[in-house]
Amino acid sequence: MTTEQISKTEKITGARIFLECLREEGVDKIFGYPGGVILHIYDELYKCDFIKHYLVRHEQAAVHAAEGYARLTGKPGVVLVTSGPGACNTITGIANAYYDSYPLVVFTGQVDSNLIGNDAFQESDIVGITRTCCKHNYLVKNIKDLPRIIKESFHIARTGKPGPVVVSMPKDILTAKAEFVYPDKVILPGYNPTYEGHPMQCKKALKLLCEAQRPVIISGGGVIHSDAYKEIRELAKKLNIPTATTLMGIGTYPQDDELSLGMLGMHGNYWANLAVSNCDVLFAVGTRFNDRITGCLKRFCKDAQVIHVDIDPCSISKNVHVDIPIVGDAKNVLNVMLKEYNTEKYSYNTEMRKAWINQILSWKEKRAIRAVENAEMSPQTVIEHIYQQTKDLNPIIATEVGQHQMWTAQLYKFNQPRQLVTSGGLGTMGFGFPAAMGAQIAAPDRLVFNIAGDGSIQMNIQELMTCVDYKIPVKIAVINNGYLGMVRQWQEKLFNKHYSQTPISSPDYVKLAEAYGILGLRVTKESQIDDALKQAINYDGPVIIDFVVEPFEMVYPWVLAGKPLSEVIMSNTNENAAGD
The residues assigned a catalytic role are 59, 121-122, 171, 486
Q: In the chain, what is the straight-line distance between the N-terminal and C-terminal CA atoms, in Å?
A: 68
Distances in whole angstroms, Cα of residue 50 to Cα of each of 45, 340, 379, 472: 9, 46, 44, 20
Sign of the torsion angle spanned by Cα atoms 463, 467, 469, 470: positive
Q: Which of 22, 77, 14 is nearest to 48 (CA)?
A: 22
Angle between helices 350-366 and 270-278 (to 10 degrees): 140
Distances in whole angstroms, Cα of residue 533 to Cα of each of 97, 105, 108, 362, 545: 31, 36, 40, 35, 8
Distance CA(491)–CA(505), nearest Å, equals 18
Query: DSSP letter at 564?
Result: B
Strand order in the sheet with 519-523: 420-421, 396-399, 448-453, 475-480, 543-548, 519-523
Pairing mode, strands 281-285 and 305-310 = parallel
Phi and psi based region of residue 166 (left: phi greater than 0; alpha: psi -120 to 50; beta: remaining): beta
- 353 near 224, Cβ under 8 Å? no
Distance CA(404)–CA(86), nearest Å, equals 30
**Peptide bond just before 85 cis, omega within 30 deg:** no
Query: DSSP 3-state assignment of 347?
Result: coil
- 556 near 569, Cβ under 8 Å? yes
Contacts with 354 (C-beta within 8 Å, 6 or more apart), sequence order: 240
Query: DSSP 3-state assignment of 109?
Result: strand
Give residue 105's identity as a one-letter amino acid code: V
Contacts with 491 (C-beta within 8 Å, 6 or more apart), sequence order: 497, 498, 499, 500, 502
Contacts with 496 (C-beta within 8 Å, 6 or more apart), sequence order: none
Contacts with 573 (C-beta within 8 Å, 6 or more apart), sequence order: none
